[in-house]
């Protein structure tokens, strides 16, 4: 067989098999080559994994975090009975423990990605309460606490079935396409560990496992809120909170963190 033909056949076989599993494996390979000293478990630390002094400062802050009062407030909101006497925990298996690691997921009946925030609102509505403002403080506090019930659980986002795959691919496309001056991947895939405006750039893998976070220890920030900040910096129109675009992007990004332990909330600079 001619070499070119063989190459074409091999290419089409590998292209036919390419999917989320292969995407993640090849991204991991790329990071291992770019950042050989950083262990996989430490990807959750983002840029703190690249700088020992910053990591030690991070450890100090995390041992007595300024946001522990906010986390207490989140706990109170989580435990506060709805008008009908039930609480959030009644909506989730195991009272909500360890479940956040499976979000977002693709809902076959709704034909869309369901984020953890969507599940919180669905719980409220099923109990006769109004939905919360998606990027609002109350939603941020409730999810900070509720997700902390999954600390240590490994992110386990599934992409199974046609609809799920298509949502994943839409999220992936957004990530690799140029918006404004850059693509998300220009920095968080192609330039990890490099410095831009005095800041090192973190890897995509490990970003979605620790949200909400508190910037400067005080400013409650959700994953979609943080994505919007980067989009603005790129000169792009930030994707709307809770839009199909944002939720598909979150789905793709969280899938990439599969296998890493959850920790919520955390400190970031
Ligand atoms: C020009 C470079 C650049 C581009 C393009 C960019 N970012 Fe960022 N991003 C940064 C820098 C710098 C930071 C702060 C340091 C860090 O944590 O990586 C950051 C931080 C983040 C964080 C927080 C990480 C953490 O652990 O706290 C997320 C999430 C993120 N970016 C997502 C995105 C997404 C999604 C896009 C595309 C819409 C994007 N970024 C585009 C440079 C960029």
27 has pLDDT over 90: yes
What's the average model confidence in pLDDT over 115-144? 98
Q: Identify the pLDDT of residue 5.
A: 60
Mean of pLDDT values over 226-245: 97
78 confidence band (pLDDT: 50, 70, 90): very high
Is the distance from CB of 208 to CB of 252 less than 8 angstroms? no
Q: Which atom of ligand 1 is nearest to the CA of 234?
A: 5
Query: pLDDT value at position 152?
Result: 97
For residue 3, what pLDDT band results from cuts at 50, 70 and 90? low
pLDDT at residue 6 above 90? no
Which range (10-24, 96-110, 111-125, 140-154) has the least confidence? 10-24
| Ligand 1 site, CB within 6 A | 46-47, 182, 184, 186-188, 196, 199, 201-202, 207, 213, 226-227, 230-231, 234, 268
What's the chain's length in residues? 269
Asked if residue 13 has pLDDT above 70, the reply is: no
Among 58, 201, 204, 238, say which to mutate for ligand 1: greatest number of ligand atoms within 8 Å of CB: 201
Gap from CA of 42 to ligand 1 centroid (Å): 17
Q: State the pLDDT confidence band at 23, using cuts at 50, 70 and 90.
A: very high
Q: What token pair was written down for 10?
A: 């091999």
Atom index in ligand 1 nearest the CA of residue 179 equals 38
pLDDT given for residue 18 in this prediction = 84
Instruction: Indicate which residue's Cα is closest to atom 6 of ligand 1.
Output: 184
Distance 108 CA to ligand 1 centre (A): 31
Mean pLDDT score, 46-56:
96
Q: Which residue has the tokens 């809770």?
A: 242
CB 236 within 8 A of CB 175: no
Mean pLDDT over the full length of the chain: 95
Does the pLDDT of residue 230 top 90, yes or no? yes
The residue among 147, 161, 160, 158 whose CA lies nearest residue 116 is: 147
Nearest ligand 1 atom to the CA of 191 is: 2
Give the list of residues 6+ apart from residue 20 with CB closer than 8 angstroms, or none.
159, 165, 168, 255
Q: Is the pLDDT of residue 110 over 80?
A: yes
Given a cut of 70, is residue 8 above it in pLDDT?
no
User: How far, in Å, from the CA of 36 to the mean position of ligand 1?
Assistant: 21
Burial class (CB within 10 angstroms; exposed 0-12, middle 13-18, buried 19+) of 130: exposed
Quick one: average pLDDT of 105-125?
A: 98
Residue 17 has what pLDDT?
Answer: 65
Q: What is the mean pLDDT of residues 121-139?
A: 98
- In the predicted model, is pLDDT for residue 201 greater than 60? yes
């Amino acid at each position: 067989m001619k070499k070119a033909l063989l190459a074409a056949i091999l290419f089409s076989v590998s292209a036919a098999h390419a999917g989320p599993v292969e995407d993640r494996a090849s991204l991991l390979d790329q990071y291992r080559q770019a950042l050989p000293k950083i262990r996989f478990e430490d990807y959750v630390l983002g840029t703190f994994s690249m700088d020992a002094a910053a990591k030690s400062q991070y450890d100090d802050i995390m041992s007595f975090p300024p946001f522990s009062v906010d986390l207490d407030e989140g706990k109170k909101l989580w435990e506060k009975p709805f008008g009908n006497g039930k609480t959030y925990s009644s909506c989730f298996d195991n009272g909500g423990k360890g479940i956040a690691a499976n979000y977002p997921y693709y809902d076959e009946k709704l034909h869309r990605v369901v984020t953890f925030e969507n599940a919180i609102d669905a719980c409220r509505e099923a109990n006769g309460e109004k939905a919360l403002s998606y990027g609002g403080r109350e939603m941020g506090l409730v999810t900070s606490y509720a997700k902390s019930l999954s600390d240590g659980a490994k992110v386990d986002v599934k992409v199974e079935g046609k609809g799920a795959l298509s949502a994943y691919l839409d999220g992936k496309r957004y990530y690799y396409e140029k918006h404004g001056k850059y693509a998300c991947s220009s920095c968080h895939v192609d330039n990890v560990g490099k410095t831009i405006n005095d800041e090192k750039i973190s890897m995509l893998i490990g970003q979605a496992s620790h949200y909400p976070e508190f910037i400067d220890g005080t400013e409650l920030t959700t994953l979609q809120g943080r994505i919007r900040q980067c989009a603005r910096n790129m000169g792009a129109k930030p994707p709307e909170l809770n839009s199909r675009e944002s939720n598909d992007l979150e789905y793709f990004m969280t899938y990439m963190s599969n296998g890493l332990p959850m920790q919520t909330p955390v400190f970031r600079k």
